[in-house]
Amino acid sequence: MASTTATLLDDGARRLDTLLLSRWDADPAHPALVDGDRVLLAGELRDRTVRVASLLRERGVRPGERVAVYLERSADFVIGVTGVVLAGAAQVAFDVNDPVARTLDMLADCEPRLLITTPELRARFPEDLATEVVTVAECAAAEPAVPFEPAADLAEQPAVVIYTSGSTGRPKASLIPHRAVTTRLRALQRGHGLGPDDRMLHHTACSFDMFLIEVYWPLITGTTVVVATPGRQRDADYLAETIRSERISVFYCVVSLLELFLLARGPEERFDGLRRVLTGGEPLAPELVRRFHAQSTAPLTNLYGPSECTIYCTAWVPPRDPDLDTVYIGPAIEDTTLWILDEDGRPVPDGEPGELYIGGAGLALGYLNRPELTAERFVPDHLGDGSGPLYRSGDLVRTHPVGGLEFLGRVDLQVKIRGYRIELGEIESAALRVPGVRQAAAVAHGRGSDARLVGFLVLDEGAEPAAVTAAVRETLRAALPSYMVPAAFTTLAAMPLTANGKLDRALLTERAGEVLPTAGTSAASSDTASTSGDSLAEVVTGVWCEVLGLPAIDPDDDFFDIGGDSFKVVRAVRKLEALLGAEVPMDLAFDEPTVAGFTAALAGHGVEVAAR
């Protein structure tokens, strides 16, 4: 099965920098960017971005080189990444919430010509950082020495570098050229037309390629970008209020966040102000589609595609069908070729499962500094016209006459948690660095928003299980993003093996359900418990124990370290509100994730145990 369309465009239409400049010049007085009380008109954004680009060039940045951006989500972040693109370089945006050690490893790998950051964030890194630093203030104060002119011949040069988890324990970076980004943005615009009256929320982490939708799509179409407050992107109450107060009309979120959003706000709340919602990153359940349709008149688009094919390569809009039983990922979008092949590289019959191979104008150039991996995943097109490679996705799919393609799962050890792509081997490699760990394995248990990582350890003889497990957790927290740290660990005498001597991951996945804490196993249930005579801390402790399925919690235990997640935050907050008869700000659980800190924050907001 193959599906493709072709569009011939000149160099200017395939370049992100020229599209940005032409849009800003077309309507310089239009509000382009909103960050709290700060509003930047298109002309002001153009001038600020040109200053960044000019300064980078004065510092020696040339087309094809990389420039790192290490900033909180903000107007300055948007100015930074677009300034890099205007300079002709490739932006490498790093999430400031990732462990510093991981960021340093990626900086060493991509060898950026410069790093854009603030003095406060620069202080996180060693004094002898190999990369030259330029601050936001320096960029803002720069006075271009010569009139700015776009660089020549950028369509095939990298515009974006996106790091994803690597199976060998080393993150890998996709090199995404201008023509790939512009191809995808053009497809988005033709299928979902943004306009100057729309407003789109930018809240997705920059380590996830979908943030490109939230920044560049609106900027090249004259839509206003509204920047979400850092740290609040998974706070459903904040998102709901922001969507209303900022008149957001177009919203993207991963599937698990969409589920969290609807769960937190309740079935009676409606979101008819939204004109269009896009989701993806994880399998989308029919029940979630029905819930969304019941609360909004907006169409919901399911996007699919690995970062190696730039943002997405298929799309499907589920119908408003109360009997919907399958959500598909859709047919190929424009400028995209899809093949479903068997293990021998031959096309499978329609309706039969096979591995998805992706080709076309949206493909990345390969992986940075990884020629062997590039050759393994970006293979010659032996079925089409041979004009470009095919990306071997590792995803199992099959054709369907209604929905284009149906996603069936993975053929390797890659999993998705909250939309993030995770190679289990990277977790296992990090765990094996801890003294006392002889073997390590990680699996994902559950589906969709219920998916959790579980770690299994085989220890050296004489090692203390509790101490080593704690050391593994701390090591992973320091080395990996929070979404890659397992929710639970357990030790085994030996790893289970299949009949041919390989690790039996299927059996570990079954056992993972026994390791994860389950709600309802605590000694008392807060649904029926009385608060009479209890202190606020005791009430909070009781609710957290129930939600996390734990018999006891220490005052300084971190909610997220002992099995908590965004969904359990919602459940805990709603139970507390029912018990205390008061509104509990949801963001407090993220800001103060211990019983001691959370209780103090509640008291500071005037929440107390009602007298009986």
**Tokens 């099965």 appear where?**
1
Contact 314, 278 (CB under 8 A): no
3-state helix, strand, coil in the chain (%, to 5): 35, 20, 45
Predicted pLDDT of residue 569? 85
Predicted pLDDT of residue 390? 96
User: What one-character-per-residue DSSP string does 297-328 give?
Assistant: SS-EEEEE--GGGSS-SEEE-----TT-----
Where does residue 347 rank: exposed (0-12), middle (13-18), buried (19+ CB within 10 A)?
middle
289-333 tens-digit pLDDT: 999 999 999 999 999 999 999 999 999 999 999 888 889 999 999
Predicted pLDDT of residue 445? 87
Predicted pLDDT of residue 348? 93
401-426 tens-digit pLDDT: 888 999 988 787 778 887 787 888 78
Highest CATH level, class, for 426-515: alpha beta
Contact 226, 219 (CB under 8 A): no
Predicted pLDDT of residue 518? 56
Split at pLDDT 50, 70, 90, the class of 81 is very high
Amino acid found at 75 = A
pTM above 0.75, yes or no: yes
* Mean pLDDT (whole number) for 512-534: 56
Radius of gyration of the chain (CA): 25
Q: Do domains 426-515 and 536-604 have the same CATH topology?
A: no
Higher pLDDT residue, 267 or 498?
Answer: 267
Predicted pLDDT of residue 581? 86
pLDDT of 513 > 90? The answer is: no
Phi and psi at 480, nearest 5°, equal: -125, 160
User: What one-character-per-residue DSSP string does 392-429 give?
Assistant: EEEEEEEEETTTEEEEEEESSSEEEETTEEEEHHHHHH
Q: Three-state DSSP class for 376?
A: helix
Where does residue 300 rank: exposed (0-12), middle (13-18), buried (19+ CB within 10 A)?
buried
Phi and psi at 389, nearest 5°, equal: -80, 170
pLDDT of 529 > 50? The answer is: no
pLDDT of 532 > 70? The answer is: no
Predicted pLDDT of residue 1? 55
Predicted pLDDT of residue 607? 83
CA distance 225 to 210: 14
Lowest mean pLDDT among 35-49, 125-139, 347-361, 528-542: 528-542
Split at pLDDT 50, 70, 90, the class of 165 is confident
Amino acid found at 295 = Q
Predicted pLDDT of residue 526? 41
* Mean pLDDT (whole number) for 489-503: 80
pLDDT of 225 > 90? The answer is: yes
Split at pLDDT 50, 70, 90, the class of 285 is confident
Please give the mean pLDDT across all residues of the chain. Answer: 88
Predicted pLDDT of residue 500? 62
Predicted pLDDT of residue 12? 61
Where does residue 252 rank: exposed (0-12), middle (13-18), buried (19+ CB within 10 A)?
buried
Amino acid found at 524 = A
* Mean pLDDT (whole number) for 225-246: 90
Predicted pLDDT of residue 303? 97
CA distance 358 to 356: 6
Q: Which CATH architecture has domain 11-394?
A: 3-Layer(aba) Sandwich (3.40)
Lowest mean pLDDT among 93-107, 201-215, 287-301, 447-461: 447-461
- What are the beta bridge partners of residue 491? 457
Beta pairing, strands 354-360 & 389-400? antiparallel
pLDDT of 528 > 50? The answer is: no
Higher pLDDT residue, 536 or 233?
Answer: 536
pLDDT of 278 > 60? The answer is: yes
Split at pLDDT 50, 70, 90, the class of 570 is confident
Lowest mean pLDDT among 179-183, 479-483, 529-533: 529-533
Amino acid found at 236 = A
Superfamily of chain region 536-604: ACP-like (1.10.1200.10)
Predicted pLDDT of residue 5? 40
Predicted pLDDT of residue 439? 87
pLDDT of 192 > 60? The answer is: yes
Predicted pLDDT of residue 411? 81
C-alpha distances out from residue 329 to 325, 334, 342, Å: 14, 15, 20
CA distance 86 to 15: 10
Domain parsing of the chain, residue ranges: 11-394, 426-515, 536-604
Contact 237, 264 (CB under 8 A): yes
